[in-house]
Structure 1
């Protein structure tokens, strides 16, 4: 949920203003993750000096603070380091004092930024307090930076290598975290550590790369003790850069918790794995260390190329990222299908599943596990999975699944759905299932994410970067990817051939029909103004494939417009919710032409009988609707795809309601795009 960004230029002369602007711009790219304060640390003018700036509020407030204080913006440095952070309060209230970076003492001997939670910080804090250390903040992170100073001081003059020191500290920490460490004892060196929270290293240089990977070095299992400062390690086998004396070009490293902050600098990225320690040495070399040797863990870290464009993370002519992403859906669904759907032969081929298809088809059940909007995409596609594959399907909210420690067996297939691929609860559920021998499938929108790397196989939804906190195009692409997965798994059942062909041809028409829905924007804005603005509560009713639509639509209105909204299965109306219905209760009823139409019409009659006047979301040609009811008419499509068509008007309604209520649509209060802590 916090954002980490750092920049190091080695033998690459840069003005201080460039480094500061790079840090601030990196934080701006991470704003969508949600935060309440921001800060940065940069190299000062004096030898080994570190300057720290922290401010509550937006990145703009930090920019103002730095601009008022820094006087030597034009000074050029051969090598320079800075790290920056956006904080989402977990331990301690939002305040300048509790913001990152945190320091070990008044001299800034050690500084650190941190994403995640140290679950055993209270125990460590007690130990350090007993040794005379005092604390100035309420955070768990300050414990880490005090601990690293304690370990350093306890070596009694025997100076540890910086990565050895970080290793000794991180072995004592529990919980999912990512750290970036800087120290005046180790000038021009940087150490980063990843455990459970995402972290990657971008590489920008004109140097000749001699390899597209970095070997992993292993620490001695004995660890670091006061009497054992020389920790033998396995030396690296390759040099990443040419060491020719004629090659005196510099190198820049960019560290971030999110690729969206790196792409404008470089496409070359190294994704850190669990328990990796990355070290930039004094001579600018990148090395990867690990705490322990683990069976099955790769001995190299490959340098990947980011497949995204800078324009994808810019708003362009749109006032908000969310509106841009709503309007990108005709294109994003095409990208989800591109190269995977053969419309001429009615075939679906998902390459990421190909080698595991037979195992999935033989499984005894499919378990979907996700959170929030991703969970709704699983609800939306459960029925088509069961219909096409005839395999039992169960749905699990990741947090509840972990609380119950639900039984998982070796012949289960567990599907983990997450836009970011870094959702903490979903990752923990994935690890739980991996430990029990289940075949694990990842469905994500982020290449290189934890879920995409650690599952056995998976599907990348190819929706493109989604910056708005409220998910829009990722939801429709998740929905679509899961339908495609069901189509591929069910192609060995000849009895379903005609049904599969109907759905695949429906996929072909989908982009054009989504464009028709987007043309309703002006009328939806008017409905928002006349029928919903100013209301304190709202009900959305749906049935069948649109049960999930009612839930997802309600979530959008809650998180964006700050209006209490419930998504209710229309079949459950008489089991309690009917008590809420009267002439004052605003209602949206999803009533598309499918096999549940008559049952949904029964729900409409019950609402009207109690003087309710619902807004009806229906298809062209629907007859017998009350004249007084407002309607939102969308194109008809195959029943299992109707949820994609029906959710888009609700996304647009929630957007306009949020604007009318004065909400910052891209950054709704108290919410984060990527929930990387439990």
Structure 2
């Protein structure tokens, strides 16, 4: 989705060129999220805080500079330097304090264009500038109101109402202050922003910049991710120094750099000390201090005005990631790197959670985030898996195993469909929310809905401190590591493994399933080695991609545990190779899909050895009888069983426990999607029209 980055240097001199390059690099770290345009705003004046010597009142500083451009970030970079040359902007000019904001936009309201890019402005003079991630659902009403008050709109975006509303609020507050001769004549930045928040509906993360408040930034959020990064510098160098968390909220003169970002990837090369901003928090950077205010939406609306906000004190967290994770290393693309990282990501996901050995030679699973809630889950009326896209597919792969071990009915819900139907959720239900980012908009709304209905809510995410991680009653961090490619690969397989461990933990009170649980635990221990083995099919899948690169469509048939594999494999081909592909439940083949079969359409059939194997053999025979162009995935050594005539192409994969087989079977399809994309000349890490974390509806 849209990317936000901001940088404020305090009491440390930085050249304009340095500030620009830092902002550009912050945007580059957010490129993977998907975007179609970008923009930045910096100060034109290194001494913006001037005072009239006679009246002692502030002089309006020069308006901030705004640069916006459609297309890739490098297009914005060229535009900025060209325009800077045209206005004779001194790139070596030094700023002791400077606040800059930057943004990558993924079009929702209005086509990609400079005028629809962010920062969006309040109008001439750029009195208020805003970068925004999310969607303002009541923007049309606000726009009509502002037009009636004389505001003119230039863009098609929902975002433009925010800076214009800020200016409207500021002007009204200043008028009110002027009328009150005995009162305080100052209007604070936080007052303006909190009044704006009171008017907004929808999901958003916002950063405000204004020449009325030079060298200040304000951020706030509701439903979209936002982080604050803090880096305090020693007085005689730019190297990071140790720093007491308790002091960072206090005003001090120590040199420091402060960052806002919608993603930790943009912060990690600068600092590991971060604050995860929570919903309805307003974070104000001013005079080297960080102030956090809590906006109470209900109270603000009930009193018909803005109550005095509560100040909040929070501790910083330390990012559990390294700079190397956001670099491609020896790989050509992030998706390729992440596919090949799966043995390590699975190992990390299981580390410390699998128990095997000891004096009693016990085998089990320890999920610390769930241990106090396992009894409740076992007594549930049903378990509901809720997710979107790849996360939904991962839950679908895990559903049969959880049903088998728990004896509890498990239902599947696409988050958007659950919300559309307002499907029933009861207090006796356990709702499991699966999301790589932990910030997926529809999944978050479904979580809010389930909480209101009293269900036990469990989160399974890859992001510590995400909205789902914070707002569920309990959960599991999948710990797959940073995933840059838009098309999820290693997070998908780690999600399946986490949900397999969840099934074992829920079912570990049943003696009848003990041998089954122990066999799966043994399989989990060996799974990374099996993944390394299947990754050796890379060249074979590249050869297959060469045969398929000119095709228009691909069908993938699966059933049982591997129905999810068919859906996810087809999704990967669809989202990165831009090729029509469809995952089909093989049991439904005769109810429509069979009409598509002929000698030209490539069809992948997943037929590894499980309790659906004989049924898949029958499917292969029926497709072969209709001259289907078959590609069959089978267990090693079983090629002759699935393709006795040798007339179909066979992909042989290692055999593992049936509930873990989806982890193995998806990898050849991930590799196929990757190679198809590269051969077809598309951007594999940033697919057309897609974003990494879908934080708007």
TM-score, normalized by the shorter chain, greater than 0.5: yes
Map Cα deviations across residues 315-341 of structure 1 (whole Å, 9 max, x no partner): 011110000000000000000000111
Q: Is the 8 A contact 1:272 1:301 kept in 2?
A: no
1:625-640 → structure 2 map (5 Å cutoff): 625=643, 626-640=645-659
Deviation readout 1:366-388 (Å, 9 max, x if unpaired)? 11100000000011010000001
2:264 to 259, 264, 276: 259
> Partner residue of 1:240?
249
Q: Match for 2:230 among 200, 203, 209?
A: 203
Whether 1:653 and 2:672 are equivalent positions in the alignment is yes
In the alignment, structure 1 residue 596 sits paired with structure 2 residue 612: yes
Does 2:107 correspond to 1:89?
yes
Q: Distance in 1 between matches of 2:611 and 2:169?
A: 68
Structure 2 CA distance, aligned partners of 1:212 and 1:390?
48
Q: Which residue of 1 aligns with 2:549?
A: 533
1:515-546 deviation digits (Å, cap 9, x = unpaired): 1111111111111112x121111110111111
Deviation at 1:410, TM superposition (A): 1.1
| DSSP-derived class of the 2:647 partner | coil
Matches within 5 A, 1:322-471: 322-344=335-357, 345-471=362-488
3-state SS of paired residue (2:369): helix
Q: Residue in 1 aligned with 2:576?
A: 560
Distance in 1 separating the partners of 2:560 and 2:483: 28
- Corresponding position of 1:227: none
Conservation of the 8 A alpha-carbon contact between 2:291 and 2:311: no
* Equivalent position of 1:503 in the other structure: 520
Give the direction of change, closer, same or farther, for the CA distance of 1:163–1:415 in structure 2 (3 Å limit). Answer: same
**C-alpha displacement of 1:676:** 0.4
Match of 1:275 among 280, 283, 299: 280
1:220 alignment counterpart: none
Whether the 8 Å contact between 1:348 and 1:488 is mirrored in structure 2 is yes
> Size of the alignment, in residue pairs?
647
Check conservation: 1:271, 1:301, Cα contact below 8 A.
no
- Contact 2:393-2:568 at 8 Å conserved across structures: yes
Give the equivalent residue in structure 1 for 2:55: none
The CA deviation at 1:299 is 5.1
Q: 3-state DSSP class of the match of 1:491?
A: coil
Q: Distance in 1 between matches of 2:251 and 2:259?
A: 20
Q: Which residue of 1 aligns with 2:254?
A: 249
Q: Which moved more, 1:467-476 or 1:123-132?
A: 123-132
CA distance in 1, matches of 2:509, 2:248: 49
Alpha-carbon displacement from aligned partner over 1:577-608 (angstroms, at most 9, x marks no partner): 11111111110111101111111000000000
Alpha-carbon separation, structure 1, partners of 2:257 and 2:243 = 17
Where structure 2 has 5 or more consecutive residues not aligned to the other structure, the ranges are: 49-60, 179-184, 235-240, 300-309
3-state SS of paired residue (2:598): coil
Residue 140 of structure 2, aligned match among 122, 145, 148:
122
Please state if 1:674 is matched with 2:693. Answer: yes
1:25 counterpart residue number = 25
| 8 Å Cα contact 2:282/2:292 also seen in 1 | yes
Q: Which residue, 636, 651, 655 being the options, matches 1:620? A: 636
1:301 deviates by 2.5
Aligned: 1:54 with 2:68: yes
Pick one of 144, 160, 170 that aligns with 1:152.
170
Q: Structure 2 CA distance, aligned partners of 1:300 and 1:448?
A: 17
Structure 1 residues 572 and 210, CA gap change in structure 2 (3 angstroms):
same
- Partners of 1:272 and 1:636 lie apart in 2 by 45
Equivalent residue, structure 2, for 1:217: none
- SS of the residue aligned with 2:470? helix
SS in structure 1 at match of 2:110: coil
SS in 2 for 1:522: helix
Alignment correspondent of 1:643: 662
Partner of 1:313: 326
Deviation at 1:618, TM superposition (A): 0.6
Matches within 5 A, 1:289-308: 289-292=293-296, 300-308=313-321
Asked whether the 8 Å contact 2:166–2:192 carries over to 1, the reply is yes
SS at match of 2:141: helix
How far is 1:432 from its partner? 0.6
Between 315-324 and 141-150, the greater mean CA deviation after superposition = 141-150
> Are residues 175 and 209 of structure 1, via their aligned partners in 2, closer, same or farther at CA, if it must alter by over 3 Å?
farther
> Which structure 1 residue ranges, 5 or more long, are not aligned?
214-237
**In 2, Cα distance between equivalents of 1:135 and 1:172:** 18
| C-alpha contact (below 8 Å) 1:343/1:508 kept by paired residues | no
d(CA) in 2 for partners of 1:80, 1:305: 25
Quote how far apart the aligned CAs of 1:575 are.
1.3
Deviation at 1:660, TM superposition (A): 1.2
Would the aligned equivalents of 1:538 and 1:565 in 2 still touch at CA under 8 Å? yes
CA RMSD of aligned residues (A): 1.6
**Equivalent residue number for residue 305 of structure 2:** none
Partner of 2:289: 285
